[in-house]
Amino acid sequence: MTREEAKLRIEELTEKINYYNDLYYQQSTSAISDFEFDKLLEELIKLEDLHPKFKKEDSPSQRVGGTITKEFKTVYHVYPMLSLSNTYSEEELIEFDNRVKKAIGTNFEYIAELKFDGVAMSITYENGILKQATTRGDGVRGDDVTANVKTIRSIPLKIKSNNIPPLFEVRGEVFLPLDSFNKINKEREDIGEPLLANPRNAASGTIKMQDSTVVAQRKLDCFVYGLLGENLDIKSHHEALIKIKEWGFNVSDSYSSCKDIQEVMSYINKWERERFKLPLGTDGIVIKVNDYKQQEILGYTAKSPRWAIAYKYKADTASTILESIEYQVGRTGAVTPVANLLPVQLAGTKVKRASVHNANEIKRLDLRIGDTVFVEKGGEIIPKITGVNLGLRPENSIPIEYISNCPECGTPLIRKEGEAVHYCPNEKGCPPQIKGKLEHFIQRKALNIEGIGSETVDQLFAKGLVKDPSDLYDLTFEKLCNLERFGEKSANNILKGLETSKTVPFKNVLFGIGIRYVGNTVAEKLADHFNNIDALAKASFEELREVPEIGEKIAQGVVEYFAQEEHRVFIERLKKAGLQMEAQKKVIEFESNIFEGKTFVISGVFQNFSRDSIKEKVEKNGGKVVSSISAKLNFLIAGENMGPSKLEKAQKLGIHMISEDEFTDMLK
């Protein structure tokens, strides 16, 4: 490579890396895999070493990848938040070990820990009270996300131990537990929303949300792995881990001390598979020289400590042939392209399908039939295509043209502005949409109709017996017995299942109806608030927005749903069939009547209660919770981060505002 070529390549790499950094840290998305990203960075570092003249001061090799945002207050770090140098190879790990030995001799110890895949956080405590939580940002300054971090239950707001320094900072990784991640995606799937790509990006997106109430619902967690401060009287990393655990922080037990690099290797091998049993994503291990004095001798580069390194596990990848793209139509009409692959062995399973998300993704990857593609399996269940081996591209291949008509019913597809997904608008005549709605209706979380499986749904639909869920209630013994291979017993089972479904609570019915964006948690909130279907159908956009946790999208979805005549007819038929269209009066076990005749508004995020449990407390003591602030209101229970407009209104009207603690005191 000539000097001129090197210069150009350095510029090109810089631009690319800056672009991916921006996507990753600012927009919480990854356009390429971490492995590909790290390869680009490695290439840049090597070229810059060969041609130091072309190395710019602000090169991405010299600084931490993120930046700050304008949505949050900017905070300067007391101690810079650096990155970690990383490697995918054992040889480089041994080189690291040699560098360490050269600087401090052989009398030292490593601590090996897992590299948790989330968002780095700095949390400051003053006299034992959580004062501030800051993102890494550009390493020098970050975003003040204190209100969001306070919603994380495993992070103490107040340290219980007496024996603590007056001022200190902990460092940790905020993450979205896999359970919560899967649950959120299940709910998004239920309501036909695009899925979150992976837990790390979901955590990073969540921590930057403006509404802490939504953050609280996402149930983030945090593993703490570092302690900083003046005169801490602590000599090593290991001691620090023990201390912060004592003080009530969540420290993962997975760390281990290693007397040499061989023991580190065993640690790496041990966790290569074991790590999948943990409740969160991990992408490697971190080794740190244990002793603080030795750390000091080793020091720092501009970007990372010299006393630590990350070893990253390669994601399981395989390459195979893309045979075809299939288009699936879901209950909401959303079209998902799925790749059919020549079967290949990947991470212990045979893979023959991979997701490609949407038309943009096909274009970005420039996928062509017959291409040799790389497939990767991360934490997700279905593997994804991460790239194309262009060297093996067949001659005369042509780019895949995304379909313009529904593969199932032929209707021209539409794409709403700002959405990546195509939809088939033929809600009433498109078979997978009709069947999808039926299956949604009968599922356990909805009407829970036993005796009907997806095969039966197919048959009922094929015979023209059922076109929408309300037709189910017109089924008779005779009609069912006419179905192929359908015994009397199965027919009776279905009829019994349908009969039982008439006792299923209103909130489940509401979920089963399948209103856009109304998942089962939302259905419960709406049922609770409006009590019956007629009140909900009449509710305006504004009235819906007043219900706690009902956002614009949901409110819009509900209004649009009931605006359609055919939906109202459908609801009438369900009513006639005898389904529960009204919430059962809750049986309240009264504790006292101290709040009799008093009204409350609950707003913001709370430390010891969920909003629902505060509501329950109010009701159990004779009070009533309302949604909007008016002059007649008696109390506003104000948590952290309540909306500014609510606050202003309450102040203007002179409403009595009480904190969570004051509320607890009132109950005593």
How far does CA 73 lie from the centroid of its chain?
24
Binder to ligand NAD among 108, 225, 561, 600 (CB under 6 A)? 225
Least spacing, CB of residue 84 vs ligand NAD, in Å? 4
Residue 637 contacts which entry, Zn ion, ligand NAD, none (Cβ below 5-8 A, type-dependent): none
Closest to 141 (Cα-Cα) out of 156, 159, 122: 122
Residue 142 contacts which entry, ligand NAD, Zn ion, none (Cβ below 5-8 A, type-dependent): none
Binding range to ligand NAD, per CB under 6 A, among 3-11, 111-119, 481-489, 509-517: 111-119
Decide if residue 291 touches ligand NAD (CB under 6 A): no
Nearer to ligand NAD, 113 or 543 (CB): 113
534 labeled binding residue: no
- Percent helix, strand, coil in the chain, to 5, is 40, 20, 40
Least spacing, CB of residue 402 vs ligand NAD, in Å? 24
Q: In terms of C-beta distances under 8 Å and separation of at least 24 residues, what long-range contacts does 1-9 make, across chains too?
A: 3/51, 6/47, 6/50, 6/51, 6/54, 7/51, 7/54, 9/43, 9/47
Decide if residue 30 touches ligand NAD (CB under 6 A): yes
Decide if residue 104 touches ligand NAD (CB under 6 A): no
Residue 442 contacts which entry, Zn ion, ligand NAD, none (Cβ below 5-8 A, type-dependent): none
- What angle, 0 to 180 degrees and rounded to 10, lies between the N-to-C axes of helices 565-577 and 506-513? 140
Count of other CB atoms within 10 angstroms of residue 249: 21
C-alpha span between 82 and 75 (Å, rounded): 15
Binding range to ligand NAD, per CB under 6 A, among 108-116, 432-440, 480-488, 600-608: 108-116
Binder to ligand NAD among 47, 48, 65, 554 (CB under 6 A)? 65
Write b or e for each residue in 253-283: b if 16 or more Cβ atoms lie within 10 A of its Cβ, otherwise e. Answer: ebbbebeebeebbebbeebeeebeebebbbb
DSSP notation for 383-433 = -EEEEE-GGGPPTT--PPPPPSB-TTT-PBPEE-TT-S-EE---TTT-HHH
481 labeled binding residue: no
Decide if residue 86 touches ligand NAD (CB under 6 A): yes
Number of chain positions touching ligand NAD (CB under 6 A): 24
Decide if residue 409 touches Zn ion (CB under 5 A): yes
Residue 403 contacts which entry, ligand NAD, Zn ion, none (Cβ below 5-8 A, type-dependent): none
Residue from 7, 115, 624, 652 carrying the catalytic annotation: 115
Binder to Zn ion among 213, 426, 508, 641 (CB under 5 A)? 426
Nearer to ligand NAD, 84 or 261 (CB): 84
34 labeled binding residue: yes
Residue 210, helix vs strand vs coil: coil
Nearer to ligand NAD, 32 or 338 (CB): 32
Closest to 32 (Cα-Cα) out of 339, 399, 275, 374: 374
171 labeled binding residue: no
430 labeled binding residue: yes
Decide if residue 134 touches ligand NAD (CB under 6 A): no
Q: Name every residue whose Cβ is closer than 8 Å to that of residue 58 and which is 6 or more positions away in sequence.
A: none
Binder to Zn ion among 104, 258, 424, 472 (CB under 5 A)? 424
Number of chain positions touching Zn ion (CB under 5 A): 7
Position 437: which residue type?
Answer: K
C-alpha span between 515 and 164 (Å, rounded): 53
Decide if residue 43 touches ligand NAD (CB under 6 A): no
Based on its alpha-carbon atoms, the radius of gyration of the chain, rounded to whole angstroms, reads 29
624 labeled binding residue: no
Please give the structure tokens belonging to residue 241: 């881990």
384 labeled binding residue: no
Residue 280 contacts which entry, ligand NAD, Zn ion, none (Cβ below 5-8 A, type-dependent): none
Phi-psi region for residue 431, left (φ > 0), alpha (ψ -120 to 50) or beta? alpha
C-alpha span between 164 and 27 (Å, rounded): 38
Residue 406 contacts which entry, Zn ion, ligand NAD, none (Cβ below 5-8 A, type-dependent): Zn ion
Least spacing, CB of residue 284 vs ligand NAD, in Å? 8
Binding range to Zn ion, per CB under 5 A, among 15-23, 110-118, 171-179, 405-413: 405-413
57 labeled binding residue: no
Decide if residue 599 touches ligand NAD (CB under 6 A): no
Strand 335-346, strand 110-116: pairing: unpaired
Q: Between vectors from CA 395 to CA 391 and to CA 398, what angle results, nearest 5°?
A: 100
Decide if residue 286 touches ligand NAD (CB under 6 A): yes
Binding range to ligand NAD, per CB under 6 A, among 32-40, 188-196, 331-339, 592-600: 32-40
Instruction: Judge whether 339 and 327 are in contact, CB under 8 Å.
Output: no
Which secondary-structure segment (H or E) carries 602?
strand 599-603
Decide if residue 75 touches Zn ion (CB under 5 A): no
276 labeled binding residue: no
Residue 65 contacts which entry, ligand NAD, Zn ion, none (Cβ below 5-8 A, type-dependent): ligand NAD
User: H/E/C letters for each residue in 232-281?
Assistant: CCCCEHHHHHHHHHHCCCCCCCCCEEECCHHHHHHHHHHHHHHHHHCCCC
409 labeled binding residue: yes
Decide if residue 136 touches ligand NAD (CB under 6 A): yes
Decide if residue 208 touches ligand NAD (CB under 6 A): no
How far does CA 212 lie from the centroid of its chain?
15
Binder to Zn ion among 64, 145, 216, 430 (CB under 5 A)? 430
Nearer to ligand NAD, 121 or 614 (CB): 121
Q: Between vectors from CA 399 to CA 408 and to CA 356, what angle results, nearest 5°?
A: 60
Decide if residue 21 touches ligand NAD (CB under 6 A): yes
Position 615: which residue type?
Answer: K
Decide if residue 32 touches ligand NAD (CB under 6 A): yes
Decide if residue 221 touches ligand NAD (CB under 6 A): no
Residue 424 contacts which entry, ligand NAD, Zn ion, none (Cβ below 5-8 A, type-dependent): Zn ion
Q: In terms of C-beta distances under 8 Å and separation of at least 24 residues, what long-range contacts does 125-130 make, across chains too?
A: 125/159, 125/164, 125/167, 125/168, 125/169, 125/170, 126/166, 126/167, 127/166, 127/167, 128/158, 128/159, 128/161, 128/164, 129/157, 129/158, 129/159, 130/155, 130/156, 130/157, 130/158
377 part of the active site:
no
Per-residue contact track with ligand NAD, 151 to 180, x per CB under 6 A?
----------------------x-------
C-alpha span between 205 and 23 (Å, rounded): 11
Backbone φ and ψ for 45, nearest 5 degrees, come out as -60, -45
Position 12: which residue type?
Answer: E
Please state the residue numbers annotated as binding site for Zn(2+).
406, 409, 424, 430
Active centre residues (catalytic): 115
Q: Which residues contact Zn ion (rule: CB under 5 A)?
A: 406, 408-409, 411, 424, 426, 430
Q: Which residues contact ligand NAD (rule: CB under 6 A)?
A: 20-21, 24, 30-34, 37-38, 64-65, 83-84, 86, 113, 115-116, 120, 136, 173, 225, 286, 310
